[in-house]
Structure 1
Amino acid sequence: MRPTVALINATPASLQPAADGLGEAFPEAAAWHLLDDRLVTEADAAGGMTPALRRRMLALVDYAVRGGADAVLLTCSMYGPVAGIARRLHDVPVTGSDEAMFAEVARRRPGRVLLVGSLESAAEDSARRLKDVVDVEVSAVAATGAAAAASARDWPELTDALARAAGPRLGGVDLVLLAQYSISPGHAALAERLGVPVLSPPHMAARALREALA
């Protein structure tokens, strides 16, 4: 029987990238999408994740587990810290959007990392959380136009937007990280364009869940 992975989304833009990452890195799993499309907008309006929003995300995890999910992936980086709480409450693997990517950074031990996001707040939040778990020099940049290109599924324009943001900041950078699932479809083309390895969070997370369920 195929394992079921619940993908809990906080924006419609992450649905397809999360499914694609799972399909490529964990093809034997069945994806089950759950969506609360106000989680991001309400967190932005509140200046970050509030206790009420944390409870809402935990309720979604509980719903997924009670519904038979064998593993749960939170696809929004802003809600990554909720994964640690959920792991203490449930017996199935639960991972935040970029935990596996951060673990890969720790394994590679790069000298300098560049985090690219479609929003300045997302890039800076990811950079802060990466510094909390890995001793590495991190810089963050927002890619103007990336969000619109991702929403329109215009992958060439997405790659162009990411490259325009990252290119001038590549001096001394060993590794580029994408801060959000919504912009991850551009990771392969971006790596080719920049000549620097680019890590895609949905692919890294899917591999980690595959190993956890092996």
Structure 2
Amino acid sequence: MKRKTLALVHTSATLVPVFAQLCKTKLPNVDTFNIVDDSLVRAIGAKGALTADIARRVGAYITSAETGGADHILVTCSSIGPAVEASAAFSAVPVLRVDQPMADIAVLTGRRIGVIATLATTLNPTSDLVRRRAAAAGKTIELTSRLCEGAFEALMAGDTAKHDSLVTAALRELVSQVDVIVLAQASMARVVDALPEADKRIPILASPPTAIDHLATLL
């Protein structure tokens, strides 16, 4: 039986090893390849939104992944999520935005859902996705959003300690107010691992493992 191939489209090279390890563990019989362009997020930041020209570039990468032999495509950046959904309609192979499985789990887990992001351009797309997935599931939810201002800039400058501190503070504030927390950026996932158990008394969902778990059921 022919092995399946998963293409991963990233907007940060830092996510390549994160997903490589997850795929090695959870998708041992699936071949993978990566497409990386970190200028996409910079362009969104400069323009303040996901513009039509950026969305067309996302579509081109999805087409390239399909042409490269992918049986399934995972786009690992939440900021370009709306462009991923739009482009999926024109792909001959399934395309998944990384935060959709996480949003579905959150909707099933609790009514009060918290969303934490380090980029304003990611906070809105992720919040919108959670609302739409709740509506599709027939669920009524209460959404609380938090932006960790300065965290993304710290991460890009190599100051991981400052990034982690800001995200941790937001998590500790929100954990007593909601039933489940959604991390809008895949880069925030490792912060949860370092949290003491007292700060993890509710589910805190990260998109990388939930997305790969979802793909494991398909591939």
Task: Give the TM-score range, shorter chain.
Answer: 0.7 to 0.9
**Which deviates more from structure 2 when the two are superposed, residues 14-23 or residues 50-59?**
14-23
CA shift, 1:182, in A, is 1.3
Letter in 1 for 2:107: A
Q: Which one of the candidate residues 176, 179, 187 is aligned to 2:181?
A: 176
Residues 193 and 25 of structure 1, relative CA distance in 2, 3 Å threshold: farther
Q: What are the equivalent positions in structure 2 for 1:1-214 lying under 5 Å apart?
A: 1-108=2-109, 110-134=110-134, 135-144=140-149, 146-147=151-152, 148-149=154-155, 152=158, 154=160, 159-190=164-195, 192-194=197-199, 195-213=201-219
Identical counterparts, % of pairs: 26
CA shift, 1:146, in A, is 4.1
Which consecutive segments of 4 or more residues in structure 1 shift more than 6 A? none
Query: RMSD in angstroms over aligned alpha carbons?
Result: 2.5
TM-score normalised by length of structure 1: 0.85
CA shift, 1:191, in A, is 7.3
Q: Partners of 1:30 and 1:193 in 2: how far apart?
A: 38
Q: Partners of 1:31 and 1:191 in 2: how far apart?
A: 34
Q: Partners of 2:196 and 2:71 in 1: how far apart?
A: 33
TM-score normalised by length of structure 2: 0.83
Contact 2:48–2:121 (8 Å) recurs in 1: no
Contact 1:141–1:166 (8 Å) recurs in 2: no
**Which deviates more from structure 2 when the two are superposed, residues 179-188 or residues 119-128?**
119-128
Q: How many residues align?
A: 211
Letter in 2 for 1:43: I
Q: Secondary structure, in 3 states, of the residue corresponding to 1:89?
A: coil
Q: Partners of 1:21 and 1:169 in 2: how far apart?
A: 27
Q: Deviation digits for residues 167-186 of structure 1, max 9, x if unmatched?
A: 12323311111111111122
Q: Partners of 1:172 and 1:144 in 2: how far apart?
A: 20
Q: Partners of 1:62 and 1:43 in 2: how far apart?
A: 21
Structure 1: 5+ residue stretches without partners: none
Q: Partners of 1:56 and 1:162 in 2: how far apart?
A: 30
Q: Partners of 2:210 and 2:27 in 1: how far apart?
A: 10
Residues 150 and 116 of structure 1, relative CA distance in 2, 3 Å threshold: farther
Q: Partners of 1:3 and 1:51 in 2: how far apart?
A: 32
